[in-house]
Amino acid sequence: MLRFSWILLAAAAFAADTFDQQAAVAELRKKIAGKESLPAEQVFSNIQKMKGVPAQRLLGVMAIGYAKSLGVTCTHCHNPEDWSSDEKTPKKIAREMSDMSRTLNEQLRGIALLKDRTPPVTVNCTTCHRGATKPALNLP
């Protein structure tokens, strides 16, 4: 029994180590073939915030806007066996972060003296995270 759980643990660690993000995204692209431009909520099963975003774009946001900006791979937020699952806390935090970013952007638009900036002033995940799960409080 002990040895069996050790093997399971080792297998889980191996799976985590070998997660291939490019392959995962390619597989998802194949899965949504023909439905790329449909709203995400019609293509995926647990969309609460990104309603109306084309399915193909959601995958781009996941890879660049979310994973890269936090310096993680998909598995930080997802169990790749079930992308729709909310079992990981960071995925649930990310939804709240998305609401927070929207609020910040509304406040920014209220700063009249910033209105002439091009491109328009925007806060997104990268603004704070810059490749890390914990935004910096000090410069190195």
Query: Which C-beta is closer to ligand HEC: that of 12 or that of 99?
Result: 99
Q: Least distance in Å: CB of 41 to ligand HEC?
A: 8
C-alpha–C-alpha distance, residues 67 and 45, integer Å: 20
CA dist list (Å): 113 to 108, 109, 110: 10, 10, 9
Q: Least distance in Å: CB of 2 to ligand HEC?
A: 31
Q: Least distance in Å: CB of 118 to ligand HEC?
A: 21
Residue 55 interacting with ligand HEC (CB under 6 A):
no
Residue 97 interacting with ligand HEC (CB under 6 A):
yes
Among residues 131, 136, 135, 1, the alpha carbon closest in space to that of 66 is found at: 131
